[in-house]
Amino acid sequence: MIRELSGTRPLSVILKPVPDELLSSWITRHADFYGVPPLTMLRHAIPEATSLWQADTHLRPTAAVHIARLFRSESSTILAMTTSGFPQSAARFVAPRAIQCCIACSEQNSLRGAATAVQRSWIEGWRITCPVCRQRQQDKKEGASAPTSSLSPFEDLWVDAIQ
């Protein structure tokens, strides 16, 4: 049971989301700012929340209203930061963590003071270009901090793929 809207008080400081930011990323950045665990931050808006991943992938409209209130935002904006509205055919290709990134956007995010931001498109397995800047997404290798695009077995097909 979700508590009444009046129970969720907006945060005093709101960090601006970066373009295409994933909801869990935005929540985590706020959690870091306020010095609490990310799930604690999410539960501030939705006490019954079980995981950030659940919020990213199965956020209900009523829950989005509560999160929007906490972050002084609109519920439509919150829902757009998730994959909740994706058809099942696309939802199957949503990765549980960032599997790729956009180097250009990462640099811009760092300049905005959001170096740890994760974009929604980074978990979308079908994407090959960034929806923000149209640059090519770079693969992230498990445990590696740097992209590994130069190791892609499909490197030779890139020019054909974008035509």
Binding flag, residue 31, Zn ion (CB under 5 A): no
Stretch that binds Zn ion, among 51-59, 65-73, 122-130, 152-160 (CB under 5 A): 122-130
- The residue among 34 and 158 lying less far from Zn ion, judged by its C-beta, is 158
Interface with Zn ion (CB under 5 A), residue from 2, 39, 98, 133: 133
Binding flag, residue 132, Zn ion (CB under 5 A): yes
| Contact map string, positions 47 to 86, toward Zn ion, x by CB under 5 A | ----------------------------------------
- The residue among 14 and 103 lying less far from Zn ion, judged by its C-beta, is 103
Name which of 132, 14, 120, 8 is nearest 64 in CA terms.
8
Q: How big is the site for Zn ion, counted in residues (CB under 5 A)?
A: 7
Name which of 15, 13, 22, 14 is nearest 105 in CA terms.
22
Interface with Zn ion (CB under 5 A), residue from 27, 31, 102, 118: 102
- The three state secondary structure string of the chain is CCCCHHHCCCCCCCCCCCCCECHHHHHHHHHHHHCCCHHHHHHHHCCCCCCHHHHHHCCCHHHHHHHHHHCCCCHHHHHHCCCCCCCHHHHCCECCCCCEECHHHHHHHHHCCCCCCCEHHHHECCCCECCCCCCECEEECCCCCCECHHHCCCHHHHHHHCC
For the CB of residue 34, give the shortest distance to Zn ion in the complex, in Å.
Answer: 28
Binding flag, residue 130, Zn ion (CB under 5 A): yes
Binding flag, residue 22, Zn ion (CB under 5 A): no
Residues that bind Zn ion (CB under 5 A): 102, 104-105, 130, 132-133, 135
